[in-house]
């Protein structure tokens, strides 16, 4: 058990010095993160190749590149976000001025997952730094090589009294959660999210939870089938399906089912080759436990495409299933792997009823050219966010807040939303001394009638 209390105390002392609150300090800190990330780029690519067999293309496009974009956007806008916001006051507050300040929380704990171990640690860290906080980050032990390099990235950029990396297993995480941090940011499973929230409740610590769930994709009868197939194949099978916003299962209109499936198989082959199980650029499953869980799903329903595995390398090729129902185990929990069950429908009300059968998903993807169908799905289904005629891309733009709802999470980040997540809105009313409104005092003559008249 590490001496995390001592480390936390040093960070709290540094935060209390006021250094992290200066705008120039924050911008310089963000700049150093970008420089260190670029300096260790090749080491991170090699580490993720060892941990997940992730290709250099996927590592840069979905991890390093996204973080660098987030950094540039934040540095460009930070001064504007930090500026105190003047707000209007009402007639009852004549003579006063209202201002909202973005106040840092203090020391944040950021707990990251293994599926995107660079991006899902550093993107929240950007928000913490931009907000003026110190931070302790805990990478996943399931991607140990990447965790080691991440520690180098952080240690190269910052002293531990400001930003620190703590490596370790689940017991380390539990030990960290016993400490009294000022903010918690967790990305991971619903099960562990509940544990984090329980720990936060003991100290009434504010937190953000980025979880998951069964995110559906819907292909309506009027969809552009070729584009829908290409974008679903990319969004589902990138990182071998180990993506929290990947399409988890697919609703396809009965009238276009066969045409769409044929197209989906063609597009999957186009992206990953005739034998993706031998493709050196295809991501592997993170460990034996997850491999065994995913392999058991291949016995359910009917395999339309794929289904081959290579146990010694922990590889499962892109797989399409049909003849599944919500009672099957593969439809009971988030798949988090390269297996895509397909369900057909005839009316959009069937889709709405089916999606509502599960807890609120983190994402939803609708492929249609009908504004009426688009409006119906957005209006009647609750989910974190998503795309019309695309998958996953909504999380790439810093202008859209990203987060879940219900069991898929709480709170948002990315872009300005990251800054807002790691800051408290401190509201200040500055009252005039030039005059004093008498109606507030109970001994004022006709005070009650004055209040009624003013507040009417």
The DSSP secondary structure of 93-108, one letter per residue, reads: GTT-EEEEEEEE-SEE
The CATH-assigned architecture of domain 216-395 is 3-Layer(aba) Sandwich (3.40)
At 250 the pLDDT is 97
Q: Which residue of the set 58, 63, 70, 210 is catalytic?
A: 210
Contact 242, 285 (CB under 8 A): yes
Distance CA 414, CA 110 (A): 15
Q: Average pLDDT for residues 300-310, to the nearest whole number?
A: 94
Q: Would you state the CATH architecture of domain 4-211+406-428?
A: 3-Layer(aba) Sandwich (3.40)
The ranges of the chain annotated as CATH 3.40.605.10 are 4-211+406-428
Q: Is the pLDDT of residue 1 over 60?
A: no
Q: Mark whether 329 is an active-site residue.
A: no
Catalytic residue among 58, 244, 322, 420: 244
pLDDT attached to residue 2: 65
Are β-strands 385-388 and 249-253 bridged in parallel, bridged antiparallel, or unpaired? unpaired
- Tokens for 395? 């999380």
Residue 316 above 90 pLDDT?
Answer: yes
Confidence bin at 90 (pLDDT 50/70/90): confident
Q: Would residue 334 show up in a list of annotated catalytic residues for this protein?
A: no
What does the block give as tokens for 36?
């260190």
**Which part of the chain is CATH 3.40.309.10?**
216-395
In 160-245, DSSP assigns E strands to 163-165, 183-187, 207-210, 216-219
Q: How far is Cα 108 from Cα 166, in angstroms, rounded to an integer?
A: 13
Whether residue 431 has pLDDT greater than 80: yes
pLDDT number for residue 56 = 96
Tell me the average pLDDT across 284-301: 95
390 backbone dihedrals φ, ψ, rounded to 5°:
-165, 175
CA distances for 50 relative to 61, 189, 337, angstroms: 18, 23, 18
The enclosing H or E element of 288 equals: helix 288-297
| Cα distance from N-terminal residue to C-terminal residue, the chain | 62
Task: Estimate the crossing angle of helix 348-356 against helix 371-380, to 10 degrees.
Answer: 20
| Residue 416 contacts residue 396 (beta carbons within 8 Å) | no
How many residues are given for the chain? Answer: 456
pLDDT of residue 417: 98
Residues 110 and 404 sit within 8 Å (Cβ to Cβ): no
């Amino acid at each position: 058990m590490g001496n995390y209390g001592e480390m936390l105390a040093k960070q709290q002392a540094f935060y209390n010095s006021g250094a992290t609150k200066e705008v120039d300090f924050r911008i310089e800190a963000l700049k150093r993160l970008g420089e260190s990330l670029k300096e260790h780029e090749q080491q991170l690519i090699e580490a993720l190749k060892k941990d997940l067999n992730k290709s250099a293309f996927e590592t840069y496009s979905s991890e390093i590149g996204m973080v660098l974009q987030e950094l540039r956007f934040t540095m460009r806008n930070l001064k504007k976000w930090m500026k105190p916001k003047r707000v209007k006051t009402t007639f009852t507050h004549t003579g006063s001025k209202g201002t909202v300040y973005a106040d840092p929380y203090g020391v944040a704990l950021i707990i990251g997952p293994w599926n995107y171990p660079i991006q899902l640690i550093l993107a929240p860290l950007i928000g913490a730094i931009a907000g003026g906080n110190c931070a302790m980050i805990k990478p996943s032990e399931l991607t140990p090589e990447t965790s080691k390099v991440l520690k180098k990235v952080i240690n190269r950029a910052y002293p531990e009294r400001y930003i620190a990396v703590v490596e370790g297993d689940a017991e380390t995480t539990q030990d960290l959660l016993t400490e009294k941090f000022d903010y918690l940011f967790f990305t991971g499973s619903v099960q562990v999210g509940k544990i984090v929230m329980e720990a936060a409740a003991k100290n009434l610590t504010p937190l953000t939870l980025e979880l998951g769930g069964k995110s559906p994709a819907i292909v309506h009868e009027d969809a552009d089938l070729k584009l829908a197939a290409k974008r679903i194949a990319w969004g589902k099978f990138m990182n071998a399906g180990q993506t929290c916003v990947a399409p988890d299962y697919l609703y396809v209109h009965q009238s276009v089912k066969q045409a769409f499936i044929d197209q989906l198989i063609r597009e999957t082959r186009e992206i990953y080759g005739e034998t993706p199980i031998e493709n050196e650029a295809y991501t592997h499953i993170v460990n034996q436990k997850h491999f065994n869980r995913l392999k058991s799903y291949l016995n359910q329903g009917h395999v339309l495409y794929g289904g081959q595995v290579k146990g010694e390398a922990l590889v499962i090729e892109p797989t399409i299933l049909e003849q599944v129902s919500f009672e099957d185990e593969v439809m009971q929990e988030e798949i988090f792997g390269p297996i895509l069950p397909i369900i057909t429908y005839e009316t959009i009300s069937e889709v709405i009823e089916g999606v509502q059968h599960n807890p609120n998903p983190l994402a939803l993807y609708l492929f249609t050219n009908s504004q009426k169908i688009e409006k119906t799905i957005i209006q009647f289904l609750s989910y974190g966010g998503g795309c019309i005629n695309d998958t996953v891309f909504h999380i790439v733009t810093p202008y859209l807040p990203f987060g879940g709802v219900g069991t898929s999470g709480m709170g948002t980040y990315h872009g300005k939303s990251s800054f807002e997540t790691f800051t408290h809105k401190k509201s200040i009313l500055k009252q005039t001394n030039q005059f004093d409104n008498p109606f507030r005092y109970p001994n004022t003559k006709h005070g009650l009638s004055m209040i009624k008249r003013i507040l009417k």
